[in-house]
Structure 1
Amino acid sequence: MNDPAKILIVFGTRPEAIKLFPVVAALQADPRFAPVVCVSAQHRQMLDQVLEIAGIVPDHDLDLMKPDQTLDGLTAALLTGLGKVMDQVQPARVIVQGDTATAMAGALAAYYRKVPVDHVEAGLRSYNIYHPWPEEVNRKIIGTIASLHFAPTDVSAKALTDEQIDPARVHVTGNTVIDALHWVSARIAADPALAAGLAELEARFAGKRIIGVTSHRRENFGGGMESIAEAVRQIAARPDVAVIFPVHLNPNVRAVMNGALAGLDNVALIEPLDYPHFARLLSIAEVMLTDSGGVQEEAPALGKPVLVMRETTERPEGVTAGTARLVGTETSVIVTELFNLLDDKAAYEQMARAHNPFGDGQTARRIVELIGNEIGH
């Protein structure tokens, strides 16, 4: 029997933690592997919430979060910090997810040591290096380095093979976010107290149609964020609507949203939600308004239409399938599109019933099998 292969799983933000905890759990359950978890804590508070609910205690915690740090300062700290961990752990392979600075620096540090990199959620492309920024370039860098590419859909797999990546290295696995959502939904069903923190808002907004909002994209900072805030203000003026808006910790988001929306009767500006409560928000919302990537995948799994407040998306599958619609950041367009869904039952049902293209909840199992095949265990 071979010794278990050391697999270093690197992540730093809340979305990465959500999308990687099913992979960590699958590796931990498989005697062929000795998983080692390293977090950068690029998002400290929001990351820790996911680690707690998932029962993950990191083996290495770089705790790199600093106020107003620059992207180059963060990247330099990540590269050297993750490099030291890799020198200590000596992993057989490194797993990164998505498109963060942590994922990009983790892939680069592994490459410098000639350690193979496995990329979860590979092949997402918007084909505009400034939308989303800096994520589009981060994932292209990882795609150049990766050994195994775990593409969530056929569209993302084709994007990789179009870039001349060996098709034998590209595997369509689905997206682990659906595994995570199924897991946490089952946990909430078994223990409703896990997501009881929204009960007061649910009672306050009883009888109203709840719109869930998230917004944090860097490329929307400034004018885009102000337009989004104005759209939310106009939407909340409808007497039959209530908005629940977990406001991102970034000051560029908070200042705009608090300035425009604080004190409105039909708007609840709340602190960022832990994962069970976010899953609860998805379940009670009629529509999700977002500039997030993950919500475009999660909401359709619960039959909720998504209006994407961005000019481009690297998840065109949702738009093609009809679960998501790009509406940009222009106030009038956001408001018109949302009201259309609220007022046209057929239009709403068409989006709500569209097939979710992002997975079936078995992605982590597929990924672990593919890694096992690769190392010959």
Structure 2
Amino acid sequence: MTAQRRRKVLIVFGTRPEAIKLFPVIRALEATDGIDVVSCVTAQHRGLLDQVLDIAGLKPDIDLDLMESGQSLDRLTARLLTGLGEVMDRVAPDRVIVQGDTATAMVGALAAYYRKIPVGHVEAGLRSGNIYHPWPEEVNRRIVAPIADLHFAPTDTAAAALARENVTTGVHVTGNTVIDALHWTRDRIAATLDLSSGLDELAARFAGKRIILVTTHRRENFGGGMAAIARAIARIARRDDIAILFPMHPNPNVGAVMDDLLGTPDNVARIAPLDYPHFIRALEMCDLALTDSGGVQEEAPALGKPVLVMRDTTERPEGIAAGTARLIGTDEDRIVSEVFTLLDDKAAYSAMARAHNPFGDGQASNRIARIVADDFGL
């Protein structure tokens, strides 16, 4: 009897969030009989990406190293398309897998389409309904949808969004792989305490205070929105019963505004971007998260932390519906009011902290690996 041909899966990613959500998928596929995994990073975000790779113990097979300071979206897109195209011609994969809504994901799917290579999309079906919020992510993920033939939707809501776009075949509700990554990382922290010991000093300094974890970096908030966020944080920091833990995104559109309008009050720790174990510990330390990030809307509820989302729309409406997150926009007064309500109203806080986490059970990656293997007939 002739042995069955092994199948080759090329996994393409380039940013920190992609790495977090794909390393459990890579591990699950590597453990699947009959599949060879080739990982390719574009390094769309160099330093933040490398942090995750190091913690996860992953060494990419191919590193395009495409990051440039101040790189425009059109230049990045062009370099991604030619670079990933050359990789696919050389590797000749049986399937390409992309994640989420980055330029790397969109262009990876497009390059595969040009070569008639099937595409699997991890975290498919997220929609805000506004092509400029988040920008350019909303259009990136919409472009991937008609190209992909396997859609790994994290929730029923995401699957329903695909159905509204007439994407009904190859859709599988798997849960979100970020929950897999979170569980794995928490286990690693418990087994190796020094993985997150870099926050020991801040934990001691802020002992007895209500801690607010702040993350902000969305392009659509650059300018007036970021200025309002900075002023709101400065007002919140005037309370002596709170402390603010603020890992600063490296984009100068964030740092310059915070330098000008927030500064460094004693109870505000503006620190360098955190690697993933330290970020998970920061989430566990905090009382609530104030963010414009997508991933935090999924991670914080898994730890029972309320999330106030400084955006007008979200592609993760499940958290809003479940009560774990609340959209508050970037109005300065509203940000301050919503934070103070959660700090001062125990019932309001408990209602969000105890809400059901809708994003998965930590087995999404295993489900994805099984679906891919079944598609190959393995």
- Identical residues among aligned pairs (%): 68
Quote the residue 1:262 is aligned against. Answer: 263
Equivalent residue, structure 2, for 1:55: 57
Among 30, 33, 36, which residue is 1:31 paired with? 33
> Quick one: distance in 2 between partners of 1:145 and 1:80?
18
1:104 to 101, 106, 111: 106
Query: Any stretches of 5+ residues in structure 1 without a counterpart?
Result: none
* TM superposition outliers: structure 1 runs of 4+ over 6 Å: none
Q: Which residue of 2 aligns with 1:179?
A: 180
Q: State the Cα deviation string for residues 84-133 of structure 1 (Å, max 9, x = none).
A: 00000000000000000000000000000000000000000001000000
Alpha-carbon offset, residue 4 of structure 1: 2.1
CA distance in 2 between counterparts of 1:235 and 1:120 reads 37
State how far apart, in whole Å, the 1-side matches of 2:174 and 2:260 are. Answer: 43
For the aligned residues, what is the CA RMSD? Answer: 0.6
**Would you say 1:306 and 2:299 are equivalent positions?**
no
Q: Is the 8 A contact 1:50 1:274 kept in 2?
A: yes
Q: Distance in 1 between matches of 2:120 and 2:49?
A: 21
Question: Which of 5, 8, 11 is the equivalent residue of 1:9?
Answer: 11
TM-score normalised by L of structure 2: 0.99
Query: What residue in structure 2 maps to residue 366 of structure 1?
Result: 367
Aligned to 1:272: 273
Q: Deviations over 1:257-294 (max 9, x none)?
A: 12222221110000000000000000000000000000
The residue that corresponds to 2:242 in the other structure is 241
> Which blocks of at least 5 consecutive residues in structure 2 are unaligned?
none
Letter in 2 for 1:37: S
CA apart distance, 1:31: 2.1
Post-superposition offset of 1:375: 1.1
Equivalent AA in structure 2 for residue 135 of structure 1: E
SS of equivalent to 1:94? strand
Contact 2:32-2:373 at 8 Å conserved across structures: no
What does 1:1-377 correspond to in 2, within 5 Å? 1-166=3-168, 168-377=169-378
TM-score by length of 1: 0.99
Secondary structure of 1:95 counterpart = strand
Question: What is the rounded CA distance, in whole Å, between the counterparts of 2:21 and 2:133 in structure 1?
Answer: 22
The 2-side partners of 1:22 and 1:49 are apart by 15
Work out whether residues 261 and 267 of structure 1, in 8 Å CA contact, stay in contact via their aligned partners in 2. no
In the comparison of the two structures, how many residue pairs are matched?
376
Q: Which amino acid aligns with 2:299?
A: E
| One-letter code aligned to 1:160 | L
